[in-house]
Amino acid sequence: MKNKNWFFIHHDPDKNEWSTPKGFISALKHLNINVFEYSFADPENFKFPSNKYFIENEITVAISFYAGKNDILEIGLSKIKKDLNIYIISELGDEPQTLSINKRKVQISDLSLTPDYRCSLYWKNQGNNCVWFNHWADTSIFNNNLEHTKKIFVGTSIGKRKYSFLLKILLGNSFLNKRCSPKENSLIYQNSKIVFQYARWNEITRRLFESAACNCCILTNRLPDYTQIETLFAHNVSAIYYKGPLNLIYQLLRLKIRPNLSKQIAKNAYDIVHENHTQMHRANILIKLVEKI
């Protein structure tokens, strides 16, 4: 790849707060990509850079990280692709939830990145270049010493969601459920033995990778085989999957009376994420995809 000048546009409502795009930008810079970061606070009121901006900075690749539909962004990307022949990459957000609003974004992109396996097949069948690009853990904040003492039995940050009330009744103060910032979220993971998750859309969530990176035992609802989740985290090996409330209670009892099981599953998931699913791994994969152009 001769020209390593990349334009990276993303939504940034709080410039002092960590975000997934910021972590990814840092990884690209670490891998010697010259990143021209362009962020906007108000998705409905910002100005996309002019063609002159891209020409003067000799930009050949433009990446968009925005979970949703945005006419200003999509028109701007379409224009520089047409006028300047710049290679467009779009990260598609939290698919499958955002699938219905991503059609135009995918069509104007030379490459789309989706965290959902079935969505990657859907877009490919529509004639678009789309790859299954799993979520990851940014180890600059989601990390933990394996010897760290964990005081919380089950922790999560899902808020009021299915089974959360049941867990509060069963576990009382041994269950922590708090909606918070990513950095605070990392502290919850670092101090939790088990991290609870319920995926409403049968989606593989970012929470699995981030909690595993903090040496937590993943406890999440069983997803359909078509999600390919067991190619990432295998049941009873690197995660525990429950099916329904009774099975959830059973799995909790297993983990309670067999603490070594919880520790081993957490360690296995920790190794998997740190070896295959960090911001650096994903940035490397993207660079290789661009090099194949």
For the stretch 156-166, pLDDT in tens is 999 988 999 99
Q: Do residues 85 and 182 both lie within one domain?
A: no
Averaged confidence pLDDT in the chain: 96
What CATH number did the domain enclosing 167 receive? 3.40.50.2000
Q: Do residues 124 and 213 both lie within one domain?
A: no
* Strands annotated E in the chain: 5-11, 34-40, 61-65, 87-91, 111-114, 130-132, 152-156, 175-177, 192-197, 217-221, 240-242
Helices in the chain by DSSP H: which ranges? 20-30, 51-56, 71-84, 103-108, 117-125, 164-171, 182-190, 206-213, 245-257, 259-276, 279-291
68 conformational bin, left if phi > 0, alpha if psi -120 to 50, beta if neither: left
Q: Do residues 99 and 200 both lie within one domain?
A: no
Residue whose pair of structure tokens reads 């224009």 in the numeric block: 79
pLDDT of residue 33: 97
pLDDT of residue 147: 81
Q: Is residue 147 in a domain?
A: no
Q: Do residues 91 and 118 both lie within one domain?
A: yes
Residue pair 138/23 in contact by the 8 Å Cβ criterion: yes
Residue pair 210/186 in contact by the 8 Å Cβ criterion: yes
Q: Do residues 126 and 165 both lie within one domain?
A: no
Q: Which of 217, 192, 220 is nearest to 205 (CA)?
A: 220
Q: Do residues 108 and 165 both lie within one domain?
A: no
Q: Is residue 143 in a domain?
A: no
Q: Is residue 141 in a domain?
A: no
Q: Do residues 182 and 96 both lie within one domain?
A: no
Q: Do residues 282 and 272 both lie within one domain?
A: no
Split into its structural domains, the chain has a count of: 2
Residue 240 DSSP SS3: strand
| Strand pairing report for 240-242 and 192-197 | unpaired
pLDDT of residue 3: 65
pLDDT of residue 272: 98
Q: Is the dihedral of CA 121, 97, 215, 285 positive or negative?
A: positive
Q: Do residues 219 and 259 both lie within one domain?
A: yes
Q: Which domain holds residue 270?
A: 152-276
Q: Do residues 46 and 156 both lie within one domain?
A: no
17/247 Cα distance (integer angstroms): 38
275/73 Cα distance (integer angstroms): 34
The two structure tokens encoding residue 5: 């000048």
Which residue type sits at 186?
S
Q: Do residues 163 and 186 both lie within one domain?
A: yes
Q: Do residues 28 and 131 both lie within one domain?
A: yes
pLDDT of residue 2: 52
| Strand pairing report for 111-114 and 87-91 | parallel
Helices in 94-181 by DSSP H: which ranges? 103-108, 117-125, 164-171
185/273 Cα distance (integer angstroms): 17
Task: Count Cβ atoms below 10 Å from residue 197 Cβ, excluding itself.
Answer: 20
Which stretches of the chain drop beneath a pLDDT of 70? 1-3
Q: Which of 8, 107, 15 is nearest to 65 (CA)?
A: 8
210/202 Cα distance (integer angstroms): 18
